[in-house]
Amino acid sequence: MKKAGKVYFFDPDGQELEQGLVVVDTANGAAFGELVMTGREVPDEQVVQPLRKVLRQATQEDIEKREAQIKKQEEAMKICEEKIAAHQLDMKLVNVELAFDNSKLTFYFTADGRVDFRELVKELAHIFRTRIELRQIGVRDETKMLGGIGACGRPCCCALYMNEFAPVSIKMAKEQNLSLNPTKISGICGRLMCCLKYEEDYYEEVHKEMPKVGKEIKTPDGSGILLENNVLKKTCRVRVSLPDGTVDIRSYPLEDIKRAEQGLPPLKKQDPLEGFGSLRSDMATASQTQQDRSQRSSGAKKKRPQQGQGQNKPGQKSGQEKQGQKERPADPNRKKQSGAPKKGSGQPKGGQDKETVRLRPAQEKPKGSGGHRNSRRRRPQHSQKSGAQETVRLVPASGKRNDDSK
């Protein structure tokens, strides 16, 4: 009993049968099968003559006998493979089938050409003591028996439900606008995929309605040359000559092309939300509300200060105070503080040195000043010959100057 075999009609011979396993009479003797349809009337064209009879409903003894035969088939498979290797035959053993009445043992194999297996048949008949038959099959039948996973990720159609193979040609792939790369349109058997036949009738029907590629047709925008047909979307891609003299490539529905040929205007595109005015307004309101919320949340995040930002440590001045202190203008009339800092006093209160900016002429100290700390320096007279320039020096507010300390 095969997983995806053909469906045959048998005469129930007046028996009341239930769906399940049955034993039937075939041309090769008694066989084990599965009843899938109960008694009904069928046309004579669907019946294979002569009409065979159903022997009986399968009993528990028949089921146990079938399970024992399956084990014998596995043993026969191993023995036959050993004998093929011993005779060095260029053939691949695929499956073994034992008749229900043990009258015949059939071996299915594949090979590139004809194989002389006469000596192999003699040895197998001597071992199993029954009639031996070696049947050569094709790669499609091999895939049907063994099964597998196709390129689509599903089990192969032939092993799952197909009763017989339908003819498939490369013309079907061309009509469906598929890639002609053999690796993409071939199954695991190496032949064209059987599924190319599934949609062939639809493509043939639609191709009859659509104009031929390269033909000049009329469009809502003017005449043009048909470049491509999309069968699934039923659209035509056309190179149109517009009234202003320019050329453009546009896509039109097949219905608009037909109406243009008849001189009718194109069909108006229907709005998917037509008739749902309240739904459209609700959607717009919800979208506007969501935008307002997002804007408020983003504005709140910008105003919120980070942790520790804007807080000064104890004894540390703020940035505005530091900036104001550095930008304080220099006072030329301010006297220099007298006296040196006391020992052990360290830095002034606040833990930082205060610096001020003073403008002084870059020239030597006038004579007769005596080097007194508190003496007021005379303002030098600038001459055109001296060419003295003013420089900016940073002088600490506390302590002595290096050039006046001596």
User: Are 154 and 129 within one domain?
Assistant: no
Among the candidates 164, 186, 205, a domain finishes at 205
Confirm whether 42 is domain-assigned. no
Confirm whether 270 is domain-assigned. no
User: Are 72 and 123 within one domain?
Assistant: yes
User: Are 196 and 240 within one domain?
Assistant: no
What are the CA-CA distances from residue 298 to residues 175, 308, 325 (Å)? 56, 21, 37
The pLDDT, as a whole number, for residue 287 is 81
* 174, 167 Cβ separation under 8 angstroms: no
Six token digits for residue 370: 């005596």
* 3, 157 Cβ separation under 8 angstroms: no
Q: What is the rounded CA–CA span in Å between residue 295 and residue 316?
A: 37
Confirm whether 344 is domain-assigned. no
User: Are 132 and 101 within one domain?
Assistant: yes
End-to-end distance of the chain based on CA atoms, in angstroms? 122
- Which residues on adjacent β-strands are paired with residue 361? 390
Q: The domain that contains 252 carries what CATH number?
A: 2.30.30
Confirm whether 323 is domain-assigned. no
Confirm whether 104 is domain-assigned. yes
User: Are 237 and 179 within one domain?
Assistant: no
The pLDDT, as a whole number, for residue 143 is 92
Q: What is the rounded CA–CA span in Å between residue 323 and residue 320?
A: 5
Among the candidates 121, 137, 153, a domain finishes at 137
Which own/partner pairs from 234-240 qualify as long-range (CB within 8 Å, at least 24 positions apart)? 234/206, 234/210, 236/210, 236/211
Confirm whether 15 is domain-assigned. no
Other CB atoms within a 10 A radius of the CB of residue 199 amount to: 14
The pLDDT, as a whole number, for residue 392 is 52
User: Are 235 and 251 within one domain?
Assistant: yes
User: Are 123 and 189 within one domain?
Assistant: no
The pLDDT, as a whole number, for residue 337 is 46
The pLDDT, as a whole number, for residue 137 is 93
Confirm whether 160 is domain-assigned. yes
Domain count, the chain: 3
User: Are 132 and 149 within one domain?
Assistant: no
User: Are 163 and 225 within one domain?
Assistant: no
Confirm whether 168 is domain-assigned. yes
Tens digit of pLDDT at every position of the chain (406 positions): 566 667 788 888 888 888 888 998 888 778 888 888 877 777 877 777 788 888 888 899 999 998 999 999 999 999 999 999 999 999 999 999 998 888 899 999 999 888 999 999 999 999 999 999 999 999 999 999 998 999 889 999 988 888 888 899 999 999 888 888 988 999 999 999 999 999 899 999 998 999 999 999 999 988 999 999 999 899 999 999 888 889 999 999 999 998 888 888 887 765 555 555 566 677 778 888 888 888 887 766 555 555 545 455 555 554 444 444 445 555 555 544 444 444 444 444 444 444 555 555 555 544 444 444 544 555 555 444 444 445 555 555 554 444 444 3
Q: What is the rounded CA–CA span in Å between residue 361 and residue 144?
A: 107
- The DSSP 8-state label assigned to residue 46 in this structure reads G
**Omega prior to 266 cis, within 30 of 0:** no
Other CB atoms within a 10 A radius of the CB of residue 233 amount to: 10
Range of the domain at 237: 211-261
The pLDDT, as a whole number, for residue 358 is 57
